[in-house]
Amino acid sequence: MITDRIINSEYSDIMQKSYIDYAMSVIISRAIPDIRDGLKPVQRRTLYDMGELGLRSDRPYRKCARIVGDTMGKYHPHGDSSIYEALVVMAQDFKKECPLVDGHGNFGSIEGDGAAAMRYTEARLQTLTEEVFLKDLDKDTVDFVPNFDETEKEPEVLPVKIPNFLINGSEGIAVGMTTSTPPHNPVEIIEAQKAYIKNRDITLDELLEIVKGPDFPTGGIVTNADELKNIYESGTGKIKIRGKVITEKGKNGKTNLVVTEIPYTMIGSGISKFMSDVADLVESKKTSDIVDISNQSSKEGIRIVIELKRDADAENIKNLLYSKTRLEDTFGVNMLAVSGGRPETMGLYQAIASHTAFLFDLNTRKYTNLLKKEENKKEIQEGLIKACDCIDLIIEILRGSKKREQAIDCLVNGNTTGIEFKSPQSENDARELKFTLKQAEAILDMRLVRLIGLEINALKKEYEQTLKNIKDYSEKLNDRSAMSRQIIADLDEIKGLFVNNTRRTEIGNYSTAVFEAKPVEETDVVFTMDRFGYAKLIDMPTFERNKETIENDDNSFRYYFTVKNTGRIGIFTNTGQLHIIKALSLPLSKLRDKGIPVDNLSNFDSSKERFVLVYDLEKIISGNLLFITSLGMMKFVNGSEFDVTSKRTVSCTNLSDNDELFEVKLYDEENDRQILLQSKGGFFLRFALEEIPEKKKGAVGVRGMKLAEGDELEAVYYMNYADERTIEYKGKQMMLTRVKLTKRDGKGIKVRI
């Protein structure tokens, strides 16, 4: 009988352990590259599978769907999309300094176009991948581990002979950490590794004389060269990169700015976003010197043409593009890699040192394996040469033996029992034979053609070469300097594959781009906005010609007032917010043009807010504002409290629960002496405005009218002491002076008509 066992455990401890296990699995097995081969598991498995499928660079392409399916079925069970995405990226020359896959078909573009479906594209390995990444897998250079279901073996790491982690860079998001390593020029990295092998005490400064900095596939300019040493020392930092812009002559004497290289961070949708941002600069009137922008990029390279006005300052506009768009951007560096089974942030020196240690380990295992094979070959060659000297005796043994084992026993141990010889002398000679078992097997498998004189000479030459190889391999394994010379020679051979890899990215120190905006000629314009919130500016002559139309059209011109074109418009809403719009952000339009929704120019939300007051902010700042809420709370606020320059939205008052801003009035000291509040319940209260105190914008205010539960304000009227003004109430005329002048905070009187 099995007894139940209950294990008491703290729930938080179980969750913590489970989360740590999950995090480490993501870090090690999915998102972070290994410092040894610079590859993530999905990349490593895809390349290995392509090698197993025989997709060499000199063979036909194979459908990507086949590659993805085979990789997923054998090695990477996490889904086809991740495998195909990795395959596509390894084929994109605008993302990888050295593409590892030769893609055939639509593999996406630098402008953000996605690759075609895997059933339409084909791929094979690049020559570089064959020679540098997969070549020595058969020489026991790396360990093989079981795949996910233990039906196949896969390499723990590929025997990559160059620091791929630095050359192709990396990017990945794990749990609680990310990796982001910029790509580098392969020739520079190989030379730096050679320099480290020759002198392990080499300094970072000496390495940086060889490695000038990142070398992005998209080119561009690194503008903070002085900060690179700190970045390469710590493995973290920010690299400032900008696109390359040249000046060309345009039509009719105009000047064109042409973007020929973009920052690495603009790969993808960044180009369309850049063009959109340039258009926004024109629409927002940051500049009026840009006439047109067009993307003329092709297979030959990036070409984005920005047409300028004839008298435009091209250098100033270039600075505007650098300062206001992603044409100048920041690449965040975090050189995180898996080293020794754990994630580690490495500087340039540590990354080169780690890969060099791996390279020595690869070559040690490689030449140990080769030495073992040569020693086995030496043994057999010695046996065959010895056999050629007594071939007649061996033939006699073979003819006299009844079975293979009997002949082998004679060759190895000199046992002649049961073997028929032509003479006693032959039998005596046979007893003296002392071949090894391997030699005996080789002799029995030897073809008679090897007895030809030329073949025997070739065998002796092979034996001499084998002896040289054994000496050479033994020297490399026993003398580190000899191994170093061999690795350096291998690196020089690999460097020959990069004869066309000249540096693309320029490294230098450049000051921050500063755009000097042209001073705007200040003039009076008229701001107009319809009841739907579409706003625009019209010039004064247009307003004067159409003044009567504007005054009588309350729908199309609900708000209109004169404002400076350099001024600001303040929009107070029922939620107690003040939204600020620069007049320069509004188009100078024709009378019947629709304008721009204020939602697009501010944080105003038409689904939640309604307009209370829309007016020239400069006049608001210079005056006093009277705030009235729906529940009768009131206060004066000095307009200077709304003089803000860096914000688009300001909280202009504090509202109680279930209350909202009913009215904001720019106080007219001469005409606004009294106020009459009318509630929806039919109550009226008239009192002097001098009873309302001035408070800060963050205050709630004082109660102007004591409202019954469920009642709220319906209308507000302003008047002088001698004002005989009448209003329409319940379809009849009513004089405001009919309501007796009392004090603030009263219930008011119920007016019945």
Could you write out the DSSP letters of every residue in 102-151? EEES----TTSPPPPPTTT-EEEE-HHIIIIIITTGGGT-S-EEE-TTSS
CATH number at residue 316: 3.30.1360.40
User: CA distances (Å), 389 to each of 302, 676, 705, 734, in order?
Assistant: 73, 132, 128, 139
What 3-state class would DSSP assign to 436? coil
- 655, part of any domain: no
The confidence score (pLDDT) of residue 141 equals: 94
Q: What is the mean pLDDT of the chain?
A: 89
The pLDDT value recorded for residue 22 is 62
- This model's pTM is above 0.85: no
The total number of residues written for the chain in this structure: 753
Cα separations in angstroms, 578 against 525, 603, 644, 651: 22, 10, 11, 6
Number of domains in the chain: 3
Select from 311, 326, 341 the last residue of a domain: 326
Write b or e for each residue in 404-433: b if 16 or more Cβ atoms lie within 10 A of its Cβ, otherwise e.
eebbbbbbbebebeebebeeeebbebbeeb
pLDDT at 265: 92
In a domain? residue 525: no
Angstrom distance (rounded) from CA 90 to CA 100: 5
Quote the Cα angle for 655-659-664, to 5°: 70
- Reply yes or no on whether the pLDDT at 24 is more than 70: no
Return the percentage of the chain with pLDDT > 90, whole number: 61
Tell me what pLDDT residue 31 has.
Answer: 77
- pLDDT for the residue 264: 94
Q: In three state form, how does the secondary structure of 213-249 look? A: CCCCCCCCEECEHHHHHHHHHHCEEEEEEECEEEEEE
Q: Once rounded to an integer, what is the mean pLDDT over residues 327-331?
A: 94
For residue 29, is it within any domain? no
3-state per-residue secondary structure call for 524-551: EEEEEECCCCEEEEEEHHHHHHCHHHHH
Please indicate, yes or no, whether residues 55 and 146 belong to a single structural domain of this protein.
yes
Q: Hey, how many other C-beta atoms are within 10 angstroms of the C-beta on 10?
A: 8
One domain, residues 490 and 382: yes
Query: Which one is catalytic: 75, 120, 349, 559?
Result: 120
Q: What's the mean pLDDT in 57-71? A: 95
Give the pLDDT mean for 664-690.
90
Q: Output the domain CATH number for residue 68.
A: 3.90.199.10
Supply the pLDDT for residue 227.
95
Whether 375 and 477 have beta carbons less than 8 Å apart is answered as no
What is residue 345's predicted lDDT score, i.e. its pLDDT?
A: 93
Q: Higher-confidence residue: 9 or 411?
A: 411
In a domain, 396, yes or no: yes
Give the three-class secondary structure for 334. Answer: strand
pLDDT tens digit sequence for 99-145: 999 999 999 999 888 999 999 999 999 999 999 999 999 999 999 99
**pLDDT given for residue 205 in this prediction:** 95
Greater confidence, 3 or 265? 265
Per-residue pLDDT tens for 474-523? 999 999 999 999 999 999 999 998 877 889 999 999 888 776 666 778 89
pLDDT of residue 2: 54
Give the list of residues 6+ apart from residue 674 with CB closer than 8 angstroms, or none.
Answer: 686, 687, 688, 689, 718, 719, 720, 721, 723, 741
Does residue 492 sit in the same domain as residue 364? yes
pLDDT at 453: 59
> Which pLDDT value is given to residue 460?
86
- 588-624: pLDDT as tens digits: 888 888 888 999 888 899 889 999 999 999 999 999 9
Tracing tokens 């997923």 back to the chain, one arrives at: 72
The CATH number of residue 396's host domain is 1.10.268.10
SS (H, E, C) 251-268: HHHCEEEEEEECCHHHCC
Residues 374, 471: one domain? yes
Taking the C-alpha atoms of residue 734 and residue 752, their distance in angstroms, rounded to an integer, is: 10
Going by pLDDT thresholds of 50, 70 and 90, the confidence category of residue 414 is: confident
Confidence of residue 158 (pLDDT cuts 50, 70, 90): very high
CB atoms within 10 A of CB 295: 15
pLDDT of residue 454: 55
Cβ-Cβ contacts under 8 Å for 593 (sequence gap 6 or more): 536, 587
| 416-463 residue pLDDT tens | 888 888 888 888 888 888 888 888 888 888 876 666 655 778 888 888
Alpha carbon distance 128, 500 (integer Å):
13
CA distances, 185 to each of 190, 319, 459 (Å):
9, 28, 46
pLDDT at residue 492, as a whole number: 94
What is the pLDDT at residue 587? Answer: 82
Beta strand 568-573 with 577-582 is antiparallel
Between the alpha carbon of residue 53 and those of residues 69, 105, 339, 714, the distances in Å are 12, 20, 30, 81
> Does 696 score more than 90 pLDDT?
yes
Question: What is the spatial distance between Cα 484 and Cα 213, in angstroms, rounded to a whole number?
Answer: 26
In this structure, is residue 104 part of a structural domain? Answer: yes
Let me know if residue 717 belongs to a domain. Answer: no
| pLDDT tens digit sequence for 628-659 | 999 999 999 999 999 887 778 899 999 998 89
State the CB neighbour count (10 A cutoff) for residue 204.
15
Question: Tokens 């768009």 label which residue?
Answer: 325
Q: What is the pLDDT confidence band of residue 152, given thresholds at 50, 70 and 90?
A: very high
- Say which residues have a Cβ less than 8 Å from residue 449's Cβ, sequence separation at least 6: 455
> pLDDT: is 29 or 96 the higher one?
96
Phi, psi of 269, rounded to the nearest 5 degrees: -75, 0
Q: Does 378 share its domain with 311?
A: no
**Which tokens go with 276?**
């959109």
CB atoms closer than 10 angstroms to residue 305: 16
Residue 420 forms part of a structural domain: yes
Model confidence at 176: pLDDT above 90: no
Residues 296 and 382 in one domain: no
Residue where a domain terminates, one of 131, 158, 185? 158
Looking at the structure, tell me whether residues 300 and 362 fall in a common domain. Answer: no
- Residue 12 reports pLDDT greater than 70: yes
pLDDT at 259: 95
**Assigned domain for 749 exists:** no
Average of pLDDT values for 31-35? 88
Least confident of 29-33, 125-129, 410-414, 698-702: 29-33
Active site residue 264: no
Q: What pLDDT was estimated at residue 429?
A: 85
Same domain for 374 and 251, yes or no, is no
Q: Is 479 left (phi over 0), alpha (psi -120 to 50) or beta?
A: beta
Q: For the purposes of burial, counting CB atoms within 10 Å of the CB of 195, is it exposed (0-12), middle (13-18) or buried (19 or more)?
A: middle
For residue 28, the 8-state DSSP code is I
Quick one: what percent of the chain has pLDDT higher than 70? 95
CA 334/CA 533 separation, integer angstroms: 47
Assess whether 372 and 483 both reside in one domain: yes
Answer yes or no: is pLDDT of 322 > 90.
yes
Question: According to the model, what pLDDT value does residue 19 have?
Answer: 62
Instruction: Decide if 616 contacts 525 (C-beta within 8 A).
Output: no
Q: Are 615 and 569 in contact (CB under 8 A)?
A: yes
Q: How confident is the model at residue 552 (pLDDT cuts 50, 70, 90)?
A: confident
- Burial of 571 (C-beta count, 10 Å sphere; 0-12/13-18/19+): buried
Last residue of a domain, one of 158, 174, 201: 158
Domain match, 152 and 81 both: yes
Q: Tell me, yes or no, whether 393 and 467 share the same domain.
A: yes
Q: Rounded mean pLDDT of 25-31?
A: 62
pLDDT band at 172 (very low <50, low <70, confident <90, very high): confident
Structural domain including 491 reads 357-498
DSSP 705: B
Please state, in angstroms and rounded to a whole number, the distance separating the CA atoms of residues 321 and 279.
11
Q: Same structural domain for residues 365 and 465?
A: yes
Q: Which pair of tokens denotes residue 577?
A: 């917010």
